[in-house]
Amino acid sequence: MKYDILLVFLGGGFGAVIRELLVMLIPSESLLSLPVFIANMTASFFVGILAGLISKSKITGSQSAFLSVGLMGGLSTFSTFIYEIVLQIKTIDAVLVVYVFLTLAIGLMFVMAGLKIGSYKSRSVL
């Protein structure tokens, strides 16, 4: 608990580096960035899993600080998502509307799916 702020800092740094690697490795020709979409959806899914694990007391507060707040917070980028919308707002077209809708809808579904997986009660085989 005492070092949680350091864990958030480290996790955020790793998450931001992963996001930047996605941007470097996945070409994106339009202002609506596929790497940003992938980063946000990945973070949404894993935040859901982590929330489920937290609800079952499977991970500690410090682990959550590093993984959920830090790593997934650094990986996801709501500000870039909003900035992409602002850049396109002058010419609202079907692509922008679909991008915004899909980002929100799929992100919500990914969080819910991750939450279901993270909070799944495993049955012992033995």
User: Which pLDDT score, from 0 to 100, does residue 126 have?
Assistant: 43
Question: Is residue 45 assigned to a domain?
Answer: yes
Give the domain range for residue 31. 4-118
Question: Is residue 95 assigned to a domain?
Answer: yes
Closest CA to 104 of 35, 31, 23, 37: 37
Task: Give dist(CA 29, CA 90) in Å, integer.
Answer: 19
User: Which pLDDT score, from 0 to 100, does residue 93 have?
Assistant: 82
Question: Is residue 53 assigned to a domain?
Answer: yes
* Overall average pLDDT of the 73-100 stretch: 86
Instruction: Tell me how far CA of residue 113 lies from CA of 62, 79, 110, 119, in angstroms.
Output: 23, 24, 5, 10
| pLDDT over 70, % of the chain | 94
- Given a cut of 60, whether residue 63 has pLDDT beyond it is yes
Question: Is residue 28 assigned to a domain?
Answer: yes
- The reply, when asked if residue 76 is annotated as ligand binding, is yes
- The reply, when asked if residue 79 is annotated as ligand binding, is no
Residue 75: how many other CB atoms lie within 10 Å: 24
Structure-token pair, residue 95 = 């692509």
Question: Is residue 125 assigned to a domain?
Answer: no
Question: Is residue 30 assigned to a domain?
Answer: yes
Q: Model's pTM, two decimal places?
A: 0.86
